Chains A and B, each alone.
Chain A
Amino acid sequence: MGLARKDLLRMQDLTADEIRLILDTAESMKQVAGRDIKKVPALRGKTLINLFYEASTRTRTSFEIAGKWLSADVINVSTSSSSVAKGESLKDTGLTLQAMHPDIVVLRHPASGAAEFLAKQLAASVINAGDGAHEHPSQALLDLFTIREKKGRLEGLKAAIVGDIAHSRVARSSIHGMRKVGMEVRVAGPRTMLPCFIDRLGVEVFTDLERAIADVDIIMMLRLQLERQQAGLFPSLREYSRLFGLTLPRLKGAKSDVLIMHPGPINRGVEIAPEVADGPYSLILNQVENGVAVRMALLYLLAGAPQAG
């Protein structure tokens, strides 16, 4: 049974049942990674286009491998320049791709809403691989998958998301996803990086890192975009890491079995100390590994599985 939707644009749209279906499917997909011959024919004859308007290593590679392991034909279209600078509108790029009859287009774009915009233009399924500060659903799903794998459950767990919440698509997708599966969510960061009314998404808001992480099961650190300093959102890297960097001494105040996550790429020594990133509680590389399985599940459920009634 597949997902009864054409596109995967945002976690805000998914039901708890859909999330469970994706995670369960990813579990069986993960077995493929352990095989000698990492290939199943589920998407043979299907075409996947990775359309990336922003630099990305892990997400693009992850989708590419996922597509290839499922036997899809995978094409990467990368451009660091925006559609505007390139001179072709996103709409025209979409129509051009459509004419080549892809089955799935994976889009990474710096503008919030770009995936939704493209999805309206295309008959192909669109997977949002990150649109501006809006959503990054496959990241949230792989995080949920990783948490479930380690903890054996999701419901009732408590997570703290720490850092630049305002500009983070990962934060938004994770908040929606975690809330839907029954987790408690806290956000923490400098007041300048907490968007207004964020509490209305059902999260608790903290500006004190130690209090935020005191009794949570998961700490998700977000990457600090260094250019936010010029925008006046924090005074210096030194002060940021003093107040919001996750260090070993700080972790002492957290639960003994707390799990540390980070969507990457990490700024070592800024938002996360190296010994924490590389430490025993860190799931950072598990997240990357599981990313492939979760993306295989998404590709399969959107383009390969028999559709629901």
Chain B
Amino acid sequence: MRILIAGGRVIDPASGVDEVVDLLIEDGRIVRIGKDVRGARSGVRGAEPPEASKGKRSKAAKNAESAINVDRVMDAAGLVVCPGLIDMHVHLRQPGREDKETIATGTLAAARGGFTAVCCMPNTDPVNDTRSVTEFILDTAKREGAVYVYPVGAITKGLRGEELAEIGELFESGCVAVSDDGRPVMNAELMRRAMEYAGMFDLPVISHCEDLHLSGKGVVHEGIVSTELGLCGIPSASEAAMVARDLLLAELTGARLHIAHVSAAESVRLIREAKARGVRVSCEATPHHFALTEEAVRGFNTNAKMNPPLRSESDRRAILAGLCDGTIDVIATDHAPHTIQDKEQEFDVAPFGVIGSETALALTLSTLVASGALPLKQAIAKLTSEPARILKLPKGRIAEGADADLTIFDPDREWTVDAFGFASKSRNTPFHGWELKGGTVATIVAGKVVWEA
């Protein structure tokens, strides 16, 4: 199978490339990158620059077809071609809660959102704290998955925060990081040992930073909205206190720490300072935390209930600033599917979590890039080369010889979010009905088009 992606604006943050070139894909790899890679124009028609006209087939595409054999030419004129997006934080719910999501539906949702790889968190049932669960996930993903799946193993057995899981075996069987995501490791001594131990394999420890005592029975950010609605609040300090602790432990152990879903201004400040000191820390922010605030909870909207909670406008601005100055390395979704009946409950009772695979790219483009807050190349880096770097994945770049994992998107396409059209099994998004700009056109995994608009 030979595919030519012709005339697209290729943006590869890893190499710094941002230009209109063709990509030739063969046998799952990128084999050639360049202007007019088939030589069609040079001899016969002269070297015309490809036209950036959308809607009709560009000259580059027509030229390409006239030359040597390819099975398919994808006309990418006016579109952006970038390394396949990597979502380093999803919940696929399989094994255990297949009514909410499966590896098949979760990866298809990812593909629809432009992701070619996802990292799935271990809070399944059973928990991914042993080789057999990791292998089950990898086998199922190979058979049924639309995109690559990289499992994240548990830090502690059963996520109970009592004893270390067999991190060595989890590493050998294919886990790319360890985390008790959904729960913090409350015992600081155990977290220290986890960092030391994971450090032997140079595995990043992904920390869900939350002091459970400070969170208490909290269900929303502690702020004006919690006060007005009479809901128990989770103070920003619940996250930031744990961020501070884990930064100190990372400094103590020299281990690699990745802080999941940063939501509070205080956390961004602490991480910025730690990075300046040389602590080996990276972190991620979710689209909902940079696109929404606590105001979205009004009306007791359970689709705006997640942990960490949506915070204040000043926190949101701090997240934006952290994304812009590089304090926040990665954009990840924390895609957390829940059934309609689970969410259609009293606010206190409904589970935490929102889905994000199918809106992340468009929210990044609409909220961060279109506003001028973040240059397009930087935004793409946070969805490709940065997660690949942190997890040491051989992904997230466009180069001759590299895996042909590519995302083609239209930065100008306007669309309305319709949760009921999602590939995900679940519908729990706070963005239903939103008008967004920027849509996936095609998602290519190992040279195969796995999703196409």
Contact = CB atoms under 8 A, between A and B. Distances in A.
* Shortest 10 CB-CB contacts between residues of A and residues of B: A113-B300, A133-B230, A134-B230, A111-B346, A195-B227, A112-B230, A197-B224, A111-B348, A113-B347, A112-B231
Nearest to B345: A89
Interface string A123-146: 000000001111100000000000
Interface of B: 216, 222-224, 226-233, 299-300, 341, 344-349
Contacts of A132: 230-231, 348
Nearest to B346: A111
Contact of A200 (B224, B229, B345, B349): B224
Contacts, number: 71
Contacts of B224: 196-197, 200
B227 A113 contact: no
A247 interface: no
A228 interface: no
A196 B311 CA distance: 14
Contacts of B341: 89, 91
A131 B230 CA distance: 9
A109, A132, A167 — most chain B CB neighbours (10 Å): A132
A201 B348 CA distance: 23
Interface string A98-134: 0000000000011111101100000000000001111
Contacts of A196: 222-224, 226-227, 233
Nearest to B300: A113
A84 interface: yes
Contacts of A131: 230
A230 B222 CA distance: 21
A113 B298 CA distance: 10
B300 A117 contact: yes
Interface in A191-218: 195-198, 200-201
Interface residues of A, number: 30
A172 B228 contact: yes
B374 to A, nearest CB: 30
A169 B299 contact: no
Interface of A: 12, 82-84, 89-91, 109-114, 116-117, 131-135, 167, 169, 172, 195-198, 200-201, 231
A12 B298 CA distance: 13
A12 B229 CA distance: 10
14 contacts: A12-B228, A82-B349, A90-B346, A91-B345, A109-B346, A112-B229, A117-B300, A132-B348, A133-B232, A134-B230, A172-B228, A195-B227, A196-B226, A198-B227
Given A112-B300, A197-B224, A89 B230 contact: no
Nearest to B232: A133
B449 to A, nearest CB: 41
Nearest to B344: A91
Contacts of A195: 226-227, 233
A113, A114, A169 — most chain B CB neighbours (10 Å): A113
Contacts of B348: 110-112, 132
Contact of B300 (A12, A116, A197, A201): A116
Contacts of A231: 216
Contacts of B232: 133
A68 B344 CA distance: 33
Contacts of A113: 229, 231, 300, 346-347
Given A83-B349, A113-B300, A132-B230, 8 more contacts: A82-B349, A84-B345, A89-B344, A112-B230, A112-B231, A117-B345, A133-B231, A198-B227
A104 to B, nearest CB: 21
Nearest to A172: B230
A171 to B, nearest CB: 9
A198 B223 CA distance: 9
Contact of A84 (B222, B227, B228, B349): B349
Nearest to B216: A231
Contacts of A117: 300, 345-347
B230 A135 contact: yes
A117 B347 CA distance: 9
B229 A134 contact: yes
A109 B226 CA distance: 18
